[in-house]
Structure 1
Amino acid sequence: MSLAIITGSTGLVGSETVNFFHDKGFDVIGIDNNLRKFFFGKSSSTDWIKTKLIKRNKNFKNFNIDIRNFIGLEKIFKKYRKKISVIIHCAAQPSHDYGKNFPFLDFNINATGTLNLLELTKKFCPDAPFIFMSTNKVYGDNPNKLNIYEQKTRWELKKTDKNYKGIKENFSIDNATHSFFGVSKTYADLIVQEYGKNIGLKTVCFRGGCITGPNHSGASLHGFLSYLVKSSLNQRKYNLIGYKGKQVRDNLHSNDLVSCFWEFYKKPRAGEVYNMGGGRYSNCSIIEALDLIEKIAKVKIKRKIIKTPRVGDHIWYISDTSKFKKHYSKWKQKYNTKKIIEELIDHQK
């Protein structure tokens, strides 16, 4: 029996990955100690997801281990070494604001935790693909330097702009403000590449845009669409922080993302990088998302605009996914933004 190790197993992407690989016939080891509750409070606890996962998946076991705990991780890798077929690393400290306030914790989780997992993969299961959930924040605020212009409901690029279809993987990560979170994830991203290109492990970095879905325990500091829907429906109000609420995000359903993992697992490469988001197929501004919620849920949402943006926040970001599609032509997106929001609204009922 093949075995998948999934970190952040009770988070949005991790839980979707647990279900997907379990349904493919894998035994699944989850590593998650619910730090999200520690970061963002009780309402963001992922215990409810862990309960669902255990009930749904008979060959799933979750270990309450922190990825900073090398010795704890080593016991698992040593025990299952011959069975491990894939490592999917989704665990992280995911917030700009939290990382700025607690830089040591942020770096140790995102950077050192990733290094721990790479070393253990090299030692115990070097043939297993290592899939890392990176972020578009590795580009810092460089996307804000594009020729962005203002429209009624969004910021946008002209169709003649070379970046109109989205940001490519060769976009610069230098000379930018990243946020502390962005810096710690950039180290993790680069070290994952290095273990592929330098040592030969089958590693990949998926630089995600806004990943979303019903398993997201959205909080004000992290989880754009999930928190937006939850806050809008429950409180009937939402704060638009910076850029008049016209900043654009591409939105990728966690199920579409995990199907990317599957394609890579079947045909892995060494030290690869892919920008992975909704692309031109699935994107919206915050204002457009609120308009959609009002229309679909038939509610009125009070909007408060806060002029000061978050440090390192993107005014416009859309992923160019053409490189992944070229390498893995069977992958297809199932969810656009409207379908994602409809599902999130149904989940809140």
Structure 2
Amino acid sequence: MKKLLVTGSGGLIGSEVVGYFATNGWEVVGIDSNMRADFFGASGDTTWNVSRLKHTYSNYSHFSLDIRDRNKMISAVRDIKPDAIVHTAAQPSHDLAASRPFDDFDVNAVGTLNMLEATRQFSTEIPFVHLSTNKVYGDAPNYLNLVEKDSRWDYAEDKYYNGIKESFSIDQSKHSIFGASKVAADVMVQEYGRYFNMPTCCLRGGCLTGPNHSGVELHGFLSYLIKCNLENKRYTIFGYKGKQVRDNIHSHDVVNFIHEFIAKPRIGEVYNLGGGRDNSISILEAFDLISSISGNEMIYTYDEQNRSGDHICYISDLSKMKAHYPKWSITKGLKTTFEEIFEAWERRLDTKT
């Protein structure tokens, strides 16, 4: 039985990775210290998700370890002896990073270095998958020629119709403190791949979402938006007239790609991982879609001040992913994704009451 080590196993992508590989016969070991509860309070607590994983999968074991603890990470990887590592643990919020920059950098940059070095000391041959972010491009996409349409912003030039490629510059732009710490991690993952000839990859995620997401206002836009609609709570739009665009990818399709990479790993690779144009949506369009599903109108407030470093329009170009891994494709569209998140929030909130 192959063994997989997953950091951040209580989070959205981490838990999806656990479920997928456990179902496919792997022994899965999760590491998660539930720092989301520290970062976001009770609404970010992932204890329920860890409990769900333990109850559901007999081949899953969990350790409450902090990736910032270098010696414990080295010991953990040495003792677990994994056949592959998926590193999803992170501080994910722009806003929180600005108020807690040391915590942000220690988790995102130093924690990733700790995992890379622990892996290298154990083996330079096992695949290492890192969940990076499209925020490594900073606000440079905002300076492309954009056109304002009725419900969204869009790229004015045909060459960007399918989105941003991996060759897009990450330099000379405002990233947010969060984006900068993720750049440090991203580049280090690439460097360990190229310098030590290790099979590593950075997945520069767009909006990664799904039914197991504990969305909060500071992170997890789609999950939080749908929760607000279900509970008739006020949602705040920050700038850009609510026409800012994101491409959303279901966690199931994220994990499918991770499986493809682990099966046929490459050295020091980078992929823009998102839903592509077909799964892109603006906030205003998201309001309409969830209202059509739930029957509830969105209650919202508009704040003219956009979040610093936020993207006006971001769509991932998936051509490199599909070229390297032709068996992979997007399988879950926007409507299905919205419905699954809405139904998951209904179940979770009913349980609490």
After TM superposition, list the pairs within 5 Å mapping 1:13-24 onto structure 2.
13-24=13-24
What is the match of residue 72 of structure 1?
72
TM-score where L is the length of structure 2? 0.97
Amino acid in structure 1 at the alignment position of 2:110: T
**CA displacement 1:161-208 (0-9 Å, x = unmatched):** 211110000001111000000000000000000000111010000000
Aligned counterparts, 1:213-224, within 5 A? 213-224=210-221
Describe how 1:1-349 pairs up with structure 2 within 5 A: 1-81=1-81, 84-158=82-156, 160-349=157-346
Q: CA deviation at 1:236?
A: 4.0
In the aligned structure 2, how far is the partner of 1:196 from the partner of 1:283?
Answer: 31
CA distance in 2, matches of 1:69, 1:38: 17
**Deviations along 1:82-133, whole A, 9 cap, x unmatched?**
xx11000000000000111111111010000000111111111221100000
Shift of 1:40: 0.5
The residue identity in structure 2 corresponding to 1:10 is G
CA distance in 1 between counterparts of 2:184 and 2:297 reads 42
- TM-score, L = length of structure 1: 0.98
Identify the residue that residue 351 of structure 2 maps to in structure 1.
Answer: none
- Is the contact between residue 247 and residue 277 of structure 2 (CA under 8 Å) also seen in structure 1? yes
Structure 2 SS opposite 1:198 = helix
Q: Give the total of aligned pairs.
A: 346
Letter in 2 for 1:17: V
Aligned Cα root-mean-square deviation (Å)? 0.9
Overall identity of the aligned pairs, in %: 50
After superposing the two structures, state which structure 1 stretch, 205-214 or 329-338, moved more.
329-338
Output the CA distance in 2 between the equivalents of 1:120 and 1:236: 44
For the Cα contact (< 8 Å) 2:74–2:119, is it kept in 1?
Answer: no
Amino acid aligned to 1:133: L
Using the alignment, how far apart are the partners of 2:102 and 2:234 within structure 1? 34
Question: Could you tell me how far apart the structure 1 residues matched to 2:36 and 2:113 are?
Answer: 21
Within 1, Cα distance between the matches of 2:48 and 2:122?
Answer: 32
Whether the 8 Å CA contact 1:236–1:300 is kept in 2: the answer is no
Contact 2:234 2:300 (C-alpha < 8 Å) held by counterparts? yes
Task: Note if contact 2:128-2:200 (Cα within 8 Å) is conserved in structure 1.
Answer: yes
- For 1:121, the aligned partner's letter is T
